A = this chain, B = another copy of it.
Amino acid sequence: MSYQQLTSHYRTISHLDNVLGLLHWDMATMMPKGSAQARSAEATTLKSICHGLKTKPDIEDWIDAAKGESLGDWDKANLREIEREYNQANALPTDLVAAMSDAISACEIAWLKARPANDFQSLCPYLERVFELVREQAHVLSDRSGLTQYDALLDLYEPGYSSAQLDTVFAELESFLPNLVGEIIEHQERMGPIVKPSGPFDIEIQKQLGRDLMDALGFNFDHGRLDVSAHPFCGGSPDDVRITTRYTADDFMQSIMGVIHETGHALYERGLPNSFRGQPVGRARSMGIHESQSLLMEMQACRSPEFVSYLAPRLRAAFGATGPGWSTGEMLRSYLEVRRGLIRVDADEATYPLHVILRYRLEKALLSGDLALADLPSAWNDGMRELVGIVPETDTNGCMQDIHWHMGSVGYFPTYTLGALNAAQLFEQAVTDIPSIPDEIGQGNFSGLVTWVRESVHQKGSLLSPNDLMVSATGRPLDPSVFKRHIKRRYLEQ
């Protein structure tokens, strides 16, 4: 049966993808620095073998034959995802892929130098080359799929999503969020300055706290690890999920919430349907759904008053600390502080979407050519003034802060905000279905919430499109008004 040849072939591919996941994890956590060059050559070899398997010409024949075979719903969806993956792997001509890889390497190196030096001009030709090739990529993908060029890129990260949908959703956010942020900041200022615990905070204690929270959230250490890396991530594979965080003795709040965020990603990977392990339909659905799972844990569940009332006494006990910054009320204020900041990755949940909308506008304009790269810094600053109400003094903290464009990722930024909106909607639905969830979370008990997301999201793998998954889980498509309600309630009404 051709379908079986396909599943066997994609199981092999998934094994190699998992090995690549492990190589990447090792590189970021364990590898001695002198081994980078050798490791990079090894990973390139493995990737090229993997690419060979993904573009094997037999696949097309197997797909055609499998379409005539009698398949159940999951297998049909698997066939659809296989075809999608095959088309993506085959879409780009080899010389474009190679040119892209070279241009990205050069641009990343240039970015690593130019960013700290606040030297956008020296970066410009490298980034220009990357965008040139991204345009070519978008052109090819668009020709194959019939999608617009931007949508063809977006589809790589959020299948079935369109910029028309994004325009609607983001317009809605823009209509209330800038003003709402202003109101929240005023509201928080009226309550006086936030007193924060002061360090140093023992790193071993932070590690143990992180592990205890992972336990509470249901992370299975028989199938995963927690380690340290410069940039936190969730990697490995569904049967061996490896998350990382970073510690600083000045601040424990970052590592604690970082661990919870990555644990949300990890629970998703681990909860994917076991019977479709290694098959395209058994994978996580999209970046926007993945991010919803981390933000559901970090933002929705663990910055709630209920959870902070569980967490605060445990933090006091762990660090043996007392004083005004350690009261439950004050810790909640710390965890919910809203600021007009320059840096996306440091942004709170209220301002974060505004950073994303800026990038979405700019990357669309850069892709279409409506915005010249030389004009990016001023366009960035104008957008920051309008959306966030603050202007960076340097491009270092402005248009050069993120790595995404320099590595050719265009169409990725929106998925962060889709994740936040999905998370709000999923959490609201979970609490509607199981009203005891907030109280349970207040006791450090996540089993109700985790069971709900496992059934409603994790176990679905890639059976449904992101849109249909939201309908299946919450009864309706993505609705930004839930996020609005969440922000207003949490920041103005509590």
Contact = CB atoms under 8 A, between A and B. Distances in A.
Interface string A343-356: 00000000000000
A222 interface: yes
Contact of A15 (B30, B42, B277): B42
A16 B221 contact: no
B26 A225 contact: no
B223 A34 contact: yes
A22 to B, nearest CB: 6
Given A22-B23, A46-B16, A32 B224 contact: yes
Interface residues of A, number: 32
A26 B277 CA distance: 22
A223 B32 CA distance: 6
Contacts of A46: 15-16, 19
A33 B240 CA distance: 9
A429 interface: no
A49 B3 CA distance: 22
Interface in A215-250: 220-225, 237, 239-240
A39 interface: yes
Nearest to A46: B19
Contact of A38 (B32, B37, B237): B237
A31 interface: yes
Contacts of A275: none
B34 A222 contact: yes
Contacts of A31: 240
Interface in A194-231: 220-225
A12 interface: yes
Contacts of A33: 222
A467 interface: no
A340 B208 CA distance: 47
A416 B260 CA distance: 50
Contact of A240 (B19, B32, B221, B277): B32
A18 B39 CA distance: 9
Contacts of A35: 223, 239-240
Question: Interface centre among A35, A37, A49, A237, by most B CB within 10 Å?
Answer: A35
A1 interface: no
A45 B223 contact: no
Contacts of A37: 239
A220 B49 CA distance: 31
Contacts of A32: 221-225, 240
A360 to B, nearest CB: 37
Interface in A1-54: 12, 15-16, 18-19, 22-23, 26, 30-35, 37-39, 41-42, 45-46, 49
Interface in A367-395: none
Contact of A34 (B12, B42, B49, B220): B220
Interface in A271-290: 277
Given A32-B224, A225-B32, A41 B19 contact: no
Nearest to A17: B42
Contacts of A224: 32
Interface string A450-463: 00000000000000
A39 B222 contact: no
A237 to B, nearest CB: 7
A476 to B, nearest CB: 37
A45 B16 contact: yes
Given A16-B49, A30-B225, 16 more contacts: A15-B41, A15-B42, A15-B45, A19-B19, A19-B23, A22-B23, A22-B26, A26-B26, A32-B223, A32-B224, A32-B225, A33-B222, A34-B223, A35-B240, A38-B237, A49-B49
A-B residue pairs, 4 tightest by C-beta: A34-B222, A35-B240, A38-B239, A15-B45
6 contacts: A15-B42, A16-B46, A19-B46, A34-B220, A35-B223, A49-B49
Interface of A: 12, 15-16, 18-19, 22-23, 26, 30-35, 37-39, 41-42, 45-46, 49, 220-225, 237, 239-240, 277
